[in-house]
Amino acid sequence: MQKNFIKLEITDLQKFHPINKSKIKKLVAGVLKAEKEGKNAELSVVFVDNKRMKEINRTFLRHNYATDVLSFPYQGHSLKNNINGEIIISVEMAAKLAQKRGYSIEGEVALYLVHGLLHLIGYDDKQKGDAKKMHQREGELLSNFGYRVPLPN
């Protein structure tokens, strides 16, 4: 019987807030387990500032602005129950929004991470009904892991 594995690479390219890699690993593993997904997972999580996020967003999506989180599935990895991709998070944006909303930066970063993971699992937020389901699931998962952050309506 094959044992499940999660290969997780965490890269921190920003200086706005220290990243607790242990908490990131636990959150990723917990979300994948809760979603009953990712019998095998190969993920890269990259923490950046707004300048780098804007460059990435412009290069890959042709949007000339920074955003909070982007997720990209790895091409050529389509085996059932495998989650493969990259999540890029702007910690600078998380810091600004957390301060504005009165929440912790860690909680805001956790929200972005869960959001990116749910996209890689297959959730979509383009349609209003789908977005509502996705945001509800984000809230449930974050609450289960002890985070309290505001969610979009």
What per-residue confidence (pLDDT) applies to 38?
A: 59
Residue entry with tokens 């805001």: 108
Domain range summary for the chain, segments of one domain joined by +: 5-144
Residues in the chain: 153
What are the tens digits of pLDDT across the range 3-58? 567 899 999 999 999 999 999 999 999 999 898 765 688 999 999 999 999 999 99
Per the confidence metrics, is the pTM higher than 0.85?
yes
Residue entry with tokens 């607790």: 20
Looking at per-residue confidence, does 147 or 81 come out higher?
A: 147
Please check if 17 is assigned to a binding site: no
Architecture of domain 5-144: 3-Layer(aba) Sandwich (3.40)
What are the tens digits of pLDDT across the range 78-117? 555 678 899 999 999 999 999 998 889 999 999 999 999 9
Please give the biggest Cα pair distance in the chain: 49
End-to-end, the C-alpha distance of the chain in Å comes to 43
Looking at per-residue confidence, does 93 or 151 come out higher?
A: 93
What per-residue confidence (pLDDT) applies to 148?
A: 80
Tell me whether residue 116 is exposed, middle or buried, using C-beta atoms within 10 angstroms of its C-beta: 0 to 12, 13 to 18, 19 or more. Answer: buried
The stretch 131-150 carries a mean pLDDT of 89
Please check if 68 is assigned to a binding site: no
Beta bridge partners of 40: 5, 82
Please check if 130 is assigned to a binding site: no
